[in-house]
Amino acid sequence: MNIDQAFAFGLVGLTVAGFAWGRLPYDLVALLGLLAGMVLGIVPVKSAFSGFSDDVVVIVVAALLVSAAISRSGVVEDIMRPVMPFMRTAQRQVTVLVGAVTLLSMITKNVGALAMFMPVAAQVSRKNGTSISQLLMPMAFGSLIGGLVTLVGTSPNIIVSKIRQDLTGEPFRMFDYAPVGLGVAVTGFVFLSLASNLIPKRRAAGGAGEAFALDAYTAEAELAAGSPFEGRTVADLERAADNDIAVRTVIRERFRRMDAAPDMVLRAGDTLLLGGEPEGIERAVARAGLALTGEGVAPRGDVETESVVEGVVTPQSPAIGSRIDHLALPATHGVAVLAVSRGGEPIRRRLQTLRLREGDVLVLKGTSETVPPALAALRVLPLAERSIALGRNRRSFLPLGVLLVAMLLTAFGVISAVAAFFGAAVVLLMLRVMSMREAYETVEASVIVLLAALIPLSEAIQTTGGTDVIAGWLSQVVQGFSPLTSLFVVTILAMAVTPFLNNAATVLMLGPIAGSLATRLGLSPDPFLMAVAIGAACDFLTPIGHQCNTIVMAPGGYRFGDYWRLGLPLSLIVLFVGVPLISVVWPVVPG
């Protein structure tokens, strides 16, 4: 081992130790490691920042954007609605979500399957009070074991197939991975369904807006003719919103005000006073085909300019004591009131006739040009910003359809995964599913910096010849071992390297080594290549070896050391189930 190789291995080791220490932010540790690599000369300056354009970083950014677009559409949660009543306990939630992600990962790219169900996990967490950390990590791990089953499930399978073609002239086919992958996936799914309590309960890092615990809002909506809930009961409407709202009052024929009873039949033209949080009210409006009264007079804006904010009426507000309709907010200030919260007091009169009081919290809709001056003129103090669903009703199958097209193009080899996800993100932005500002807020900058700084650092092991050192060491270690033991060694090595080198780099490094090792030992290369694929695809120990682990890190509020708690026993299961299966399905000794 020369000095550059020693520096490379030592620097990677110190970086990992910095992650485990936990005193500095992970992205800062990665940046310090990259800087040290440049100073030591093992990371060339001209390639030090190439990580920002690496395929892995692009896929993570695009997957976060697509996931956010699907979350805003609400389509997947609508698809999952029939199952929601059975997901009352944390264990059932983990079982259903992990099962869904694992199955979908068998037929498409695992990162896409995970992105599709992350919004559902967020809704389940909010509705049932389950810590989001108990759901996201098992789902990420489920996507990894599901990806083992087919050629298109995960990148290592695709790369190993190409390496086999180079070695033998014949690539692995679509379902050659299935016999081993299914065994590992089923066993891993059972474990994940039962062991989520191994994960510490964490809170995701949220904005300051999450510090505000506001009482339920009241919004006013009209049941239009042709609504699917015309002729149905109040209880039906509340169930359609997952019982997250209450219909407080029904106003019929303009003046008849009636307390809502569960069995009351709704008619076209009824005005409903809905109580609940903005997200629940939005869900009711979307699913029942209602029209928010305030939105009908709100200034029109596109996805880039519309603005929905929460604000509290201050003691100095000139609006105190005035009826909302007398203020003529749309005409005079370019904003409209969508909902009002009054200290937990139920509001049972039409919002336009409501006289504002000090301390009332309003949801105002306008544009980025009209909202700030309106808040100033009315002396309404904006609350810390949080995402408000009310007034941004864009429920559509469009984001899900774009993602499915991208995954199908990848599955059939038309374009690469990075091109598919990048294209999906750009198409959704072009279709105005979200604004550019929302897109930038969706991307976790710390995750991007973490990955971009680590990629050149990990490549230093290859460029300094460290891979040759590993190959020579491996050849010496397995000399005299049985074929099955050699398979265990190769799998363990792939599992150990992947968390710090990323799975694609691990396969590119160890695949040829494993193939040549098998040839040197007079054994079939197929089981050794399978061992590399299984080991490289199953990174359960850190958040940096696979993009699925990285994507859930910030939303789940995980720390670097959280992953091994669930990941270590799962790694042992994969090892002791997968390797014997490989030896049975792919005989080590050539026939």
What's the CA gap between 115 and 70, in Å, rounded?
A: 8
Backbone dihedral angles phi then psi of residue 382, each to the nearest 5 degrees: -65, 140
Strand bridging mode 306-313 / 380-382: antiparallel
- Pick from 62, 72, 113, 119: which is nearest to 424 by CA? 62
Contact (CB, 8 A) for 562 and 200: yes
Residue 316: both structure tokens together: 């100095």
3-state secondary structure 144-165: HHHCCCCCCCCHHHHHHHHHHH
The alpha carbon of 457 is separated from its chain's Cα centroid by a whole number of angstroms, namely: 26
Residue 564's contacts (CB-CB under 8 Å, 6 or more residues apart) are 540, 541, 542
- Domains for the chain: give ranges and CATH numbers: 1-204+402-590 (no CATH), 225-288 (3.30.70.1450), 306-382 (3.30.70.1450)
What's the CA gap between 539 and 550, in Å, rounded?
A: 11
Residue 371: both structure tokens together: 């909202």
What's the CA gap between 535 and 152, in Å, rounded?
A: 17
Q: Which residues share a beta bridge with 307?
A: 366
DSSP 544: S
pLDDT at residue number 209? 42
Amino acid (one-letter) located at 362: L
What's the CA gap between 62 and 419, in Å, rounded?
A: 10
What's the CA gap between 563 and 498, in Å, rounded?
A: 14
Backbone dihedral angles phi then psi of residue 544, each to the nearest 5 degrees: -110, -10
Residue 435: both structure tokens together: 């604004």
The alpha carbon of 272 is separated from its chain's Cα centroid by a whole number of angstroms, namely: 35
**Angle, helices 445-463/3-21, rounded to nearest 10 degrees:** 150
3-state SS assignment for residue 20? helix
What's the CA gap between 262 and 235, in Å, rounded?
A: 5
- Enter the pTM of the model: 0.66
Q: In angstroms, what CA-CA distances link 37 with 5, 12, 375?
A: 12, 9, 51
Contact (CB, 8 A) for 389 and 217: no
Amino acid (one-letter) located at 508: L
CB environment 15-47: b (16+ within 10 A), e (fewer): bbebbeeeeeebbebbbbbbebbbeeebbeeee
CA angle 519/525/526 to nearest 5° reads: 170
What's the CA gap between 81 and 65, in Å, rounded?
A: 23
Taking only the tens of pLDDT, the chain with its 591 residues reads 789 888 888 887 888 788 767 688 878 888 999 999 999 999 899 888 888 887 777 877 887 788 778 767 777 777 777 887 788 888 899 999 999 999 888 876 777 778 778 878 887 887 788 889 999 999 999 999 998 998 767 778 877 888 888 888 888 887 889 999 999 999 999 999 988 788 878 765 554 444 444 558 899 999 988 888 999 999 999 988 878 889 999 999 877 889 899 999 999 999 999 998 888 888 888 888 888 887 767 666 667 778 888 889 999 999 999 999 999 898 899 899 999 998 778 888 889 899 999 999 999 998 888 989 999 999 999 886 556 666 655 557 888 888 888 878 876 778 877 888 899 899 999 988 888 887 887 777 777 887 788 778 777 877 887 766 776 777 777 777 888 998 999 999 889 878 766 677 677 777 878 887 888 778 898 999 999 999 988 889 888 777 788 888 888 888 888 898 999 999 999 999 999 999 999 988 776
Contact (CB, 8 A) for 534 and 545: no
3-state SS assignment for residue 18? helix
Write out the H or E segment, with its range, that includes residue 529. Answer: helix 525-537
What's the CA gap between 277 and 324, in Å, rounded?
A: 21
What's the CA gap between 182 and 145, in Å, rounded?
A: 9
Write out the H or E segment, with its range, that includes residue 539. Answer: none
End-to-end CA, the chain = 38
Amino acid (one-letter) located at 544: I
Contact (CB, 8 A) for 552 and 136: yes
- Pick from 151, 60, 165: which is nearest to 410 by CA? 151
